[in-house]
């Protein structure tokens, strides 16, 4: 499986990240264990989760994904074989949110307990916290790195200006610095990443690991024109793409997939892997065929004509 360096200073990781948001949501514990066994055996061992997964499900409190991963680590003994990323900062209820030093110290310990591990490979600020000075947030992350609880830190959902400010603060104060950015980026959502965040990613040598890489499944081609998508768990997320522009992109994916003996999902991910600044897109799977797509996408190389066609058809109107 193709490996890529996560930013200038990070480790080598697979070119696709396995999304853990489905664990405890659309994939139960048994199914999650089966997927994790196979994924790691195939070399797909960069796994991304968050403390808040899957708090949006009725009856859930958050922490379900981390808990399943922790049980799998305990059962399989494969913790050392995984590059584990998780995130903190989004509201967990009862005042548990933000990026204050007090809450970061509380959140990391809670995640470590659920994950049944004593360290996180990549600990990420899930979203910017305008109420906490960046110096305080970065100082708290630096403390975690020095304590050995965290190996690297990353940012998610930061605007370009705030990301650059955070990186300069780390540089000026000798603090641990973000090595990665987790942005919302895919063929139907190219902005604001390309115009706002990518220049910062390239200037400071970060690795981008985009989420919603398949646009909640829209880019797999399964949501066809006129079909009823209301029964899908992600129906509300994909409705905004079901228009002429969105389907033109899907048509191009289908055409290129046929030419490469691949699937639209593999092609959409391969396009992302080929984009400037991107290290590895994040995508989740709920069945074996979807996991096959992620494994194959890591090694799929698109020709320049195919890359250009997708870039042109998905280019937002100015």
Q: What is the pLDDT of residues 47-66, one digit of tens each?
A: 999 999 999 999 999 999 99
Cβ–Cβ < 8 Å for 286, 160: no
pLDDT interval class at 186 (50, 70, 90): very high
Say if residues 113 and 101 touch (Cβ distance below 8 Å). Answer: no
Structural domains of the chain, count = 1
- 261 Cβ partners below 8 Å, 6+ apart? none
Residues 205-223 have a mean pLDDT of 93
Q: Look at residue 200 and tell me whether its pLDDT is greater than 70.
A: yes
Could you tell me which of 71, 178, 70, 72 has the C-alpha nearest to residue 118?
Answer: 70
pLDDT reported for residue 243 = 87
- Considering the chain, what is the average pLDDT of its residues? 95
CB atoms within 10 A of CB 101: 15
* Mean pLDDT (whole number) for 103-107: 98
Residue 41 has pLDDT above 70, yes or no: yes
Please give the helix or strand (H or E) that residue 121 lies within, else none: strand 120-125
What's the pTM value of the predicted model, to 2 decimals?
0.94
Which active-site residues does the annotation give?
53
- Residue 225: the pLDDT is 72
pLDDT of residue 318: 44
d(CA 292, CA 114): 28
pLDDT of residue 61: 94
The answer to whether residues 120 and 86 touch, using CB atoms and an 8 Å cutoff, is yes
User: For 112-159, what is each residue's pLDDT tens digit?
Assistant: 999 999 999 999 999 999 999 999 999 999 999 999 999 999 999 999
Phi, psi of 154 (to 5 degrees): -145, 170
Domain limits for position 102: 3-314
* Residue 40 pLDDT > 90: yes
- For residues 177 and 175, give the distance between their C-alpha atoms in angstroms, rounded to a whole number: 6
Checking if the pLDDT of 235 tops 80, the result is: no
| pLDDT at 231 > cutoff 80 | no
CA distance 200 to 176: 17
Q: What is the mean pLDDT of residues 179-204?
A: 98
Q: Assign residue 147 the CATH number of its domain.
A: 3.20.20.100
CA 139-145-151 angle, 5° bins: 135
Token readout for 67 is 């808990």
Q: What is the rounded radius of gyration, in angstroms, for the C-alpha atoms of the chain?
A: 19
Rounded to the nearest 10 degrees, what angle do helices 264-273 and 288-297 cross at? 30
Closest C-alpha to 218, from 199, 208, 232, 205: 232
Instruction: Report percent pLDDT > 70 for the chain.
Output: 96
């Amino acid at each position: 499986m193709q490996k890529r360096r996560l930013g200038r200073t990070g480790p080598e990781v697979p070119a696709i990240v396995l999304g853990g948001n489905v664990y405890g949501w659309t994939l139960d514990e048994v199914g999650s264990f089966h997927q994790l066994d196979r994924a790691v055996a195939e070399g797909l061992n960069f796994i991304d989760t968050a403390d808040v997964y899957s708090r949006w499900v009725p009856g859930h409190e958050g922490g379900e994904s981390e808990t399943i991963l922790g049980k799998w680590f305990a059962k399989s003994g494969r913790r050392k074989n995984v590059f584990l990323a998780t995130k903190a900062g989004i509201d967990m209820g009862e005042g548990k949110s933000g990026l204050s030093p007090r809450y970061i110290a509380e959140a990391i310990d809670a995640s470590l307990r659920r994950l049944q591990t004593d360290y996180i490979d990549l600990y990420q600020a899930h979203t910017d916290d305008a109420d906490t000075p960046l110096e305080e947030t970065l100082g708290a992350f630096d403390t975690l790195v020095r304590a050995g609880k965290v190996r690297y830190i990353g940012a998610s959902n930061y605007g370009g200006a705030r990301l650059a400010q955070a990186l300069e603060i780390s540089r000026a104060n000798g603090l641990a610095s973000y090595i990665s950015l987790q942005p919302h980026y895919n063929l139907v959502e190219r902005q604001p990443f390309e115009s706002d965040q990518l220049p910062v990613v390239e200037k400071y040598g970060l690795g981008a690991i985009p989420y919603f890489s398949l646009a909640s499944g829209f880019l797999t081609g399964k949501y066809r024109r006129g079909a009823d998508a209301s029964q899908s768990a992600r129906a509300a997320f994909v409705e905004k793409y079901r228009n002429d522009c969105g389907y033109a992109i899907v048509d191009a994916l289908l055409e290129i997939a046929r030419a490469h003996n691949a699937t639209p999902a593999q092609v959409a991910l391969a396009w992302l892997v080929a984009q400037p600044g991107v290290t590895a897109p994040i995508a989740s799977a709920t069945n074996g065929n979807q996991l096959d797509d992620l494994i194959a996408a890591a090694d799929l190389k698109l020709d320049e004509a195919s890359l250009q066609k997708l870039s042109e058809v998905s280019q937002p109107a100015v």
